[in-house]
Amino acid sequence: MARQWRIEYPGAFYHILSRGNERQVIFRSDDDREMFLNLIGELSDRFQIDVFAYVLMGNHYHLLLKTHKGNLSKSMQWLGTTYTRKFNNRHRRSGHLFQGRYKSILVESDLYLMRLSCYIHRNPLRAGIVKRLSDYTWSSYLSYGYARKTPEWLKIVLLLGLMHGKDPHRQYRDKVQQYSDEAGSIWEDVQHGLIFGSQDFVTDIRSRFISDGKDPELPQYNRMVKAFYPGEMLQRAGAALDFDLEAAVAGKRIPAGEKDKRDLLIYLWESA
């Protein structure tokens, strides 16, 4: 299996998904789930990570989090190794528990975080485990939707702050219900298999983390190297020509000597 490219920097948001090896069960009992949540709390403190949402399913889990130190790989390795050791000791087993590499999606803030939190919380419904989300104990939904007791490490203020009105918990419940058909569209909007956000966000990540060379072990990186964005090309061409694109888009008068540059950029755009 090819390595997944990990983009890490302070302040990055991620959606994390990790499955059991060969899709085997990773939580055999409520005691296992409690143990895992305790480790999430320790993870938050040890690695300075904010956890915004979670759901524990039978053979996998989802997390929505933010790293303050750009240490995703180190923290997730600790979580997987520590839980596996404790799980194996408890159940008198040995060997791998998780399916090798966890999946991480780099997430832009606000709207994208909200969409993913709804997707994460609806997992038990999609799996047919419950008919009402309020009946599922092992997710952060009850903290968001019903103001149930919230562990200290779970940060619900950011997403509830996006609600407008007197009862943000009720509004969040309504929001989750509105996302009943969002699962497919969310994954369609993930670009290059690892970024969920606007085109401006993708362009920024490309400019910060992509060089001209390719890496045969990182197919996601190579896809981004080869990706072509007309808007990005236009920005670079405008900079090379010393042409003020923002002024042109705003409809300001273009000096006669600049019109040839404008016409060249229009040609490049139409030919892209």
Q: What is the pLDDT of residues 234-263, one digit of tens each?
A: 566 556 667 666 665 556 566 666 666 666
Residue 145, class by beta-carbon neighbours within 10 Å (0-12 exposed, 13-18 middle, 19+ buried)? Answer: buried
**In whole numbers, what is the pLDDT of the chain averaged over residues?**
84
- 191-203 residue pLDDT tens: 878 899 998 898 8
What are the counts of helices (DSSP H) followed by strands (DSSP E) for the chain? 13, 5
Q: Any residues with CB less than 8 A from the CB of 34 and at least 6 apart, and which?
A: none
Query: Of 122, 109, 97, nearest to 180 (Cα)?
Result: 122
More confidently predicted of 93 and 248: 93
Q: What is the pLDDT of residue 133?
A: 95
Q: What is the pLDDT of residue 197?
A: 92
Sorted by where each begins, the domain ranges of the chain are: 12-225, 228-271
Q: What is the pLDDT of residue 193?
A: 80
More confidently predicted of 245 and 265: 245
Does residue 146 register a pLDDT over 80?
yes
Residue whose entry in the numeric block shows the structure tokens 């103001």: 147
Global pTM value: 0.79
Does residue 161 register a pLDDT over 70?
yes
Q: Are 158 and 113 in contact (CB under 8 A)?
A: yes
Distance CA 93, CA 212 (A): 46
Q: What is the pLDDT of residue 6?
A: 87
Query: In the predicted model, what is the mean pLDDT of residues 145-172?
Result: 94
Give the pLDDT band of residue 205 (cuts 50, 70, 90).
confident
- 40-64 residue pLDDT tens: 999 999 999 999 999 999 999 999 9
Q: Which residues pair with 80 in a beta bridge?
A: none
Give the pLDDT band of residue 228 (cuts 50, 70, 90).
very low
Does residue 222 register a pLDDT over 70?
no
Q: What is the pLDDT of residue 37?
A: 98
Residue whose entry in the numeric block shows the structure tokens 């019109």: 259
- Span 12-225 CATH architecture: 2-Layer Sandwich (3.30)
Q: What angle do CA 52, 55, 56 make, to 5 degrees?
A: 140
Name the 3-class secondary structure at 19.
strand
Q: Are 94 and 41 in contact (CB under 8 A)?
A: no
Q: What is the pLDDT of residue 100?
A: 80
Query: Of 159, 127, 132, nearest to 144 (Cα)?
Result: 159
